[in-house]
Amino acid sequence: MKNKMQSKNNAANEREVSKTNLTNLIDIDFLQKFQDDFAKGVGLASVTVDLEGNPVTKPSSFTRFCMDYTQTTKCGGKRCAESHRKGGEEAARTGKPVIYQCHAGLIDFAAPIMLNGQLIGTILGGQILTTPPEEEKYRRFAKEIGVIPDEYVEAVKEVRIVSKESIEAAANVLYIVANSMSRTSYQQIKLKAVVTQSERKLQQTDEGLVAVQENLMASQDELRQQFENLKKQAIALEESQQRYRSLFDNMINGFALHDIICDESGKPVDYRFLSVNPAFERLTGLKGDKILGKTVMEIHPNIEPYWIEEYGKVALTGQPHSMIKYARELGRYYEVEAYCPEPGKFAVHFLDCTERFKHHEKMEHMAYHDALTDLPNRYLFRDRLQNALVRAVGSNQKLAVIMLDLDDFKLINDTLGHFAGDELLKVIGERLRSSLRAEDVVSRVGGDEFIILLENIKNIDNITPITEKIIQAVEKPWHYNQKMHNITCSLGVSVFPSDGQDADVLLKQADLAMYKGKELGNGCCQHYHFDMGAQVSRRVEMEAELRIAIEEEQFILYYQPQVDFNGCIVGVEALVRWQHPGRGMIPPMEFIPAAEESGLITKLGEWVLQTACRQAKKWQDDGLPPIYMAVNLSARQFHQQNLLQVISQTIEQSGLDPQRLILEITETVAMKSAEYTTQVLQTLRSMGVQIALDDFGIGYSSLLYLKKFPVNLLKIDRSFIQDIDTEPEGGSIARAILGLAKNLQYTVVAEGVETVEQLNFLKKLQCDQMQGYIFSKPLPSAGITELLLTMLR
């Protein structure tokens, strides 16, 4: 009986649905308020339509594109209704929210309002795009529906571009509301049927009316609870968007999001601005409302193709990429990080790094130019020579390398002082620059040596007039301190390709020719010729063997102890030896000069430094007494561009306490470029490394510079120690150096102590530390280990 009654009720409900208007089934005021809140919260349009696609609510946040154009014409309005109707039917068929493209090409989504399995209406949302609009497409469509194409295209550009994920999230929210409406509508139909039956039985019983009232109250409570839940969800969504917007707006870095524009082959060719943050506007001076919707090429028509290509690599591979970009129109440098947050999208973070980059440029200029004359230094000259060789091969032209050395320059320093010598070198640099062509390269490589590169030499005979002009320019009388001084120079010339095929050979042969010229007398220019090559051949052979030796690690370190006043070992000096597979042990005096000249000293020096630091750390880990490790830096090594980086990495990798490392440079190396030396030594000291000035006393240090150098130790040259036994002057010089060092509060190390007389003399003068064969000859690591173990016993 009960089932029969239930069937009758369901049949009544279905009949009620078919003849009941949508506006009579749902709370239009509630739905209108939800639509408005939803549109305001997520920034998307929304409307509810009936089965024919006609709206039953007022449109919420409709775009100007739809309201003022698409739906104003009979054709456009009809197509809109048809799109909405089909969207609702598809949603009803699948039972899920449907995201579809309307007839005008915008992205809409539909959530069905169902009643007892039948579609009674649809909640629609959208009027958005996921990619920038194609103008031609909308011009055609404007003509079809009868609106002005230009206005129609401008209107569609205002349509918001949203990611697919955000569209799906919004569609799900509408689906939740539609389900709620469906349930509520069904309850209302049920209630209406109950009310109808209750009216018939009103006179028979009051209990039916009470039941109807209770069901109605329950439905109202359920609807109110559903509304509160939806309101909470909308608030949470708005708060999430506000947090994202706050983060986006308050970033220090500039940010821009683009759509990737590709050509027919799929290659990225441009990028359309989708959004920018306030930092972008502040750093670039470009306003978002002026550039959104435009492309990078439209905003920066003169942008270098290099940057579009770099962006293209990121867009194609999806791999993030960092770069430094110079914006010519702004005159600023930016550190840019480009990446693809999602397919089809391209984003850049950037930060103004102009001051840091200019500082880097200044430091780089200092690294590749002579501090005194501002001429290219040896490293830059060598780079330009190598590039010139490539051009010479391609053009079948000759080039010449000229080595120039001032005659008797030491006499200038000794008689007039080093300041005068520096002034003369600056004058010579200017004279050389003014006497040569703009494309010629003049470099100062140290001391009074200059190198000149001449390109585009058609005939060797063309070189002579140039060298004569150089000599005339250099040998003009030099006025200094109201006196005239005569200057002469010696030149050596090597020519590509007859005298050599690569940079190193040409430099060596020009150098050899220059020294041959000096043998002939001041003011000579000597061209390289074959019989000068014997020494060069030996150097080349030695260089080749050295390269193999470095690759195969044929070297070994010996260590000579350094002892304090009481004879205790306080440190060791690392000394390299070459274990030649054919010639046995080769002392450093035979291969170090060749390594210096060839530049291999840099790699060899790095190997020595790394090996010595690892050994010092091993002794420390083995529990042996703590000692210092002293390592020599050659002239070339000291001036290499990445010296500080190499030292820092070596210390970090070895784990050695930097205060246990002593780096030794000769007095002559230190004085070659006092300002550079001071900068490097100060940096090393800030790292904790100690500095020793080696071979002190045989150079030409100025006391002023000596006081400026951040030096910890002075090493008295062995020649002064050896003279203690034979010449009174030797003892006097040693005594003077010790006195000077004590006054400057330096630790003094005496090298080459070999006799008891020398030892007693140094002890009498209270020399801090000593080193020499009287204590120990250089030993391999195992020998030093034994000595240190002896100290523990």
In contact, 407 and 523? CB cutoff 8 Å: yes
Rounded to a whole number of angstroms, the distance between the first and last alpha carbons of the chain is 111
Write out the residue limits of the CATH 3.30.450.20 domain(s) in the chain. 254-352
Asked if 684 and 706 count as a contact pair (C-beta separation under 8 A), the reply is no
Q: Where in the chain is the domain with CATH 3.30.70.270?
A: 370-528
CATH code, residues 548-792:
3.20.20.450
Q: Cβ-count burial of 551 within 10 angstroms (0-12 exposed, 13-18 middle, 19+ buried)?
A: exposed
Q: Which residues are CB-contacts of 202 (< 8 A; sequence separation ≥ 6)?
A: 208, 209
- pLDDT, position 455: 94
Low pLDDT (below 70) residues in the chain: 1-21, 182-210, 212, 237-250, 324-330, 411, 414-415, 519, 521-522, 533-537, 539, 597, 672-673, 697-706, 725-730, 793
Check the CA dihedral 204-208-213-214 and report its sign.
positive
Dig out the tokens for 784 from the structure. 């030093």
For residues 528 and 697, what is the distance between their CA atoms, to the nearest angstrom?
37
* Contact in structure between 321 and 313 (CB atoms under 8 Å): yes
- pLDDT tens, residue by residue, 539-579: 678 888 999 999 999 999 999 999 998 889 999 999 999 99
Cα Rg for the chain, rounded, in angstroms? Answer: 44
Domain 2-241, architecture per CATH? 2-Layer Sandwich (3.30)
> Which segments of the chain belong to CATH 3.20.20.450?
548-792
Tell me the C-alpha distance between 85 and 91, whole Å.
Answer: 10
- Determine the residue type at 47: V
CA atoms within 13 A on the CB side of 684: 28
The ranges of the chain annotated as CATH 3.30.450.30 are 2-241
Query: What is the b/e burial string over 412-445, where b = at least 16 CB atoms within 10 angstroms of the residue's CB?
Result: bbeebebebbebbbbbbbebbbebbeeebbbbbb
- Tally Cβ neighbours within 10 Å of residue 46: 29
Which residues lie closer than 8 Å to 124 by C-beta, 6 or more apart? 46, 47, 48, 49, 84, 87, 88, 108, 109, 110
> Which amino acid would we find at residue 355?
E
DSSP annotation string for 116-164:
TTEEEEEEEEEEEBSS---HHHHHHHHHHHTS-HHHHHHHHHTSPB--H
Place of tokens 């994202």: 244
Task: At 107, list the tokens.
Answer: 């992205």
Nearest to 170 by CA among 60, 64, 66, 38: 38
Which of 171, 192, 227, 225 is closest to 21 using CA atoms? Answer: 192
Return the amino acid letter for 88: G
Cis, bond preceding 588 (omega within 30 deg of 0): no
- Helix H or strand E encompassing 174: helix 164-200
Q: If you write DSSP's letter for every residue of 52-72 in order, what string do you get?
A: TS-BSS--BS--HHHHTTGGG
Q: Where are the beta strands (DSSP E) in 7-117?
A: 45-49, 98-101, 107-115
Classify residue 43 by burial, with Cβ atoms within 10 Å: 0-12, 13-18, 19+: middle
Question: Phi, psi at residue 631, to the nearest 5°?
Answer: -130, 130
Q: E strands within 447-539?
A: 449-457, 478-480, 483-485, 489-496, 525-527
430: which residues sit within 8 A by CB, 6+ positions away?
A: none
pLDDT in tens, 72-90: 888 888 888 888 788 878 8
Q: Which residues pair with 442 in a beta bridge?
A: 452
Question: If one looks up domain 254-352 in CATH, what number appears?
Answer: 3.30.450.20
| 528 in Cβ contact with 493 (< 8 Å) | yes
Phi, psi of 59, rounded to the nearest 5 degrees:
-60, 140
CATH code: domain 370-528 is: 3.30.70.270
For tokens 């359309």, what's the residue? Answer: 272
What interhelical angle do 135-145 and 149-157 show, nearest 10? 130
